[in-house]
């Protein structure tokens, strides 16, 4: 009978990246997902890798910057092991920020536009909603999260990670003291290490109710009338545009407290599309390919929950909210270190599950 050293609950980008990292360290790993691997928040995301100090929470800045630096190598390794292509773009981001929001954390001269806006994005038309905004440039990357998760699944399989799909974990078994496995709706799996990477659903897995909640995001994808109609990621107070190298463009996204409801609302999608059209009128010719909603794993303080729990052998890596695609490489690295008894090399106290204990 097959046995495993570690069970990862959840095959989103966080669980997949961690499973690969643990496997690299020689552990036998089983990933369990209640559905098809990689089809929840990690599939729904935009894929902006926002690590700038102007837009990232100060508490997350160190991890965000470290993870952004890891990205090219992270993608290269996944491509190599999966034989799949991942669309990682480095054109940078044009940010329109409401000038009345200016703070001490405002962008510096280094972030001024490298060329006139009309040269950088000739089809972009500042409008009523951006008129009061200051504009700056961030040298951020963006990635296609669906490419990324597909490659991570293939790379994990290639490395010998096992998967059990359609198995809903009900609780982690801790009755004899340390973690000894998990109980699903169908069966039981044994391992002395268990990691809860269940995203927005992490709180539903007993015995600890980590305070995660779903934060719904609706978005749509169009095919640009010309492949390079827009080249940069563009963020305004109303909408963001994320072009892909194959000529698609993502337009997002809402942020809603709507429980686990993943339905899209026609009026909301139309509103997002209209905001995009106001910015780039030629998108009127763009064909709508798809609209969807996903559930970001939110927490009360909008910071992730990372590290050990009160039970030896039971760990948690969830609550990545808006930044889980960005934070996947660093989360995998530091969690693998914590699990194998090494120093994580970062102060994780502000992310500890125990901060919610009171």
Ligand X SMILES: Cc1cc2nc3c(=O)[nH]c(=O)nc-3n(C[C@H](O)[C@H](O)[C@H](O)COP(=O)(O)OP(=O)(O)OC[C@H]3O[C@@H](n4cnc5c(N)ncnc54)[C@H](O)[C@@H]3O)c2cc1C
Question: What is the number of H-type helices and E-type strands within the chain?
Answer: 7, 19
Candidate ranges 70-78, 197-205, 259-267, 276-284; the one touching ligand X (CB under 6 A): 197-205
Question: Between residues 313 and 329, which has the closer beta carbon with respect to ligand X?
Answer: 329
Does 206 engage in binding with ligand X (CB under 6 A)? no
Does 333 engage in binding with ligand X (CB under 6 A)? no
Does 181 engage in binding with ligand X (CB under 6 A)? no
DSSP 256: B
Question: Between residues 112 and 165, which has the closer beta carbon with respect to ligand X?
Answer: 165
User: Around Cβ 2, how many Cβ atoms within 10 Å?
Assistant: 7
User: Around Cβ 97, how many Cβ atoms within 10 Å?
Assistant: 20
Closest approach of ligand X to the CB of residue 333, in Å:
15
Decide if 35 contacts 170 (C-beta within 8 A). no
Does 316 engage in binding with ligand X (CB under 6 A)? no
Rounded to 10°, the helix 61-82/145-159 angle is: 60
Number of residues near ligand X (by CB under 6 A): 43
Among residues 44, 224, 316, 332, which is the contact residue for ligand X, using CB under 6 A? 44
Closest approach of ligand X to the CB of residue 268, in Å:
12
Question: Between residues 15 and 107, which has the closer beta carbon with respect to ligand X?
Answer: 15
Decide if 335 contacts 18 (C-beta within 8 A). yes
- Alpha helix locations (H) across 51-139? 61-82, 117-120
d(CA 230, CA 226): 9
Beta bridge partners, 248, equal 223
Closest approach of ligand X to the CB of residue 217, in Å:
3
Among residues 253, 272, 283, 330, which is the contact residue for ligand X, using CB under 6 A? 253
Among residues 28, 57, 157, 168, which is the contact residue for ligand X, using CB under 6 A? 168
Does 325 engage in binding with ligand X (CB under 6 A)? yes
d(CA 65, CA 141): 12
Question: Between residues 297 and 307, which has the closer beta carbon with respect to ligand X?
Answer: 297
Among residues 21, 40, 121, 140, which is the contact residue for ligand X, using CB under 6 A? 40
**One-character DSSP codes across 21-34:** HHHHTT--EEEEES
**One-character DSSP codes across 342-357:** ---SS--GGG-GGGG-
Among residues 15, 298, 307, 313, which is the contact residue for ligand X, using CB under 6 A? 15
Among residues 94, 151, 156, 205, which is the contact residue for ligand X, using CB under 6 A? 205
Using alpha carbons, list the distances in angstroms from residue 335 to 2, 106, 314.
24, 32, 12
Which residue has 């009026």 as its token pair? 267
Does 322 engage in binding with ligand X (CB under 6 A)? yes
Build a one-symbol-per-residue string for 269-308: x at contacts with ligand X by CB under 6 A, - elsewhere: -------------------------x-xx-----------
Site for ligand X in 107-166 (CB under 6 A): none
d(CA 334, CA 331): 5
**One-character DSSP codes across 78-102:** HHHHH-----EE-S-EEEEEEGGG-
Build a one-symbol-per-residue string for 66-105: x at contacts with ligand X by CB under 6 A, - elsewhere: ----------------------------------------
Does 335 engage in binding with ligand X (CB under 6 A)? no
Decide if 318 contacts 198 (C-beta within 8 A). yes
User: Rule CB under 6 A: which residues touch ligand X?
Assistant: 9-15, 32-35, 40-42, 44-48, 168-169, 197-201, 204-205, 217, 219, 252-253, 294, 296-297, 318, 320-326
């Amino acid at each position: 009978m097959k046995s495993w050293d570690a069970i990862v609950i959840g095959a989103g980008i966080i669980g997949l990246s961690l499973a690969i990292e643990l496997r690299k360290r020689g552990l036998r790993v089983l990933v369990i997902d209640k559905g098809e691997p990689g089809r929840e928040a990690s599939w729904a995301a935009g894929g902006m890798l926002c690590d700038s100090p102007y837009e990232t929470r100060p508490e997350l800045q160190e991890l965000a910057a470290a993870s952004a630096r890891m990205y090219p190598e992270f993608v290269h390794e996944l491509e190599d092991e999966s034989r799949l292509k991942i669309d990682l773009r480095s054109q940078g981001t044009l940010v329109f920020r409401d000038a009345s929001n200016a703070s001490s954390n405002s962008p510096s001269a280094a972030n001024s536009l490298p060329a006139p806006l009309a040269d950088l994005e000739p089809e972009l038309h500042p409008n009523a909603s951006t008129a009061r905004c200051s504009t700056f440039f961030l040298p951020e990357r963006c990635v296609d999260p669906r490419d990324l998760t597909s490659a991570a699944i293939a790379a994990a399989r290639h490395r010998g990670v096992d998967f059990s799909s359609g198995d809903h974990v009900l609780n982690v078994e801790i009755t004899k003291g340390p973690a000894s496995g998990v109980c699903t709706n169908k069966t039981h799996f044994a391992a002395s290490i268990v990691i809860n990477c269940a995203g927005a659903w992490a709180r539903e897995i007993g015995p600890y109710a980590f305070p995660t909640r779903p934060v719904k995001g609706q978005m749509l994808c169009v095919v640009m009338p010309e492949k390079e109609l827009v080249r940069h990621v563009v963020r305004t107070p109303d909408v963001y545009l994320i072009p892909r190298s194959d000529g698609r463009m993502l337009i997002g996204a809402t942020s809603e407290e709507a429980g686990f409801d993943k339905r899209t609302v026609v009026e909301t999608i139309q509103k997002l599309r209209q905001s995009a059209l106001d910015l780039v009128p030629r998108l009127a010719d763009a064909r709508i390919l798809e609209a969807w909603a996903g559930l970001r794993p939110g927490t009360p303080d909008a910071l992730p929950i990372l590290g050990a729990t009160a039970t030896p052998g039971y760990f948690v890596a969830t609550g990545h909210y808006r930044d889980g695609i960005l934070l996947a490489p660093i989360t995998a690295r530091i969690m693998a270190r914590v699990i194998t008894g090494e120093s994580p090399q970062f102060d994780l106290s502000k992310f500890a599950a125990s901060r919610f204990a009171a």
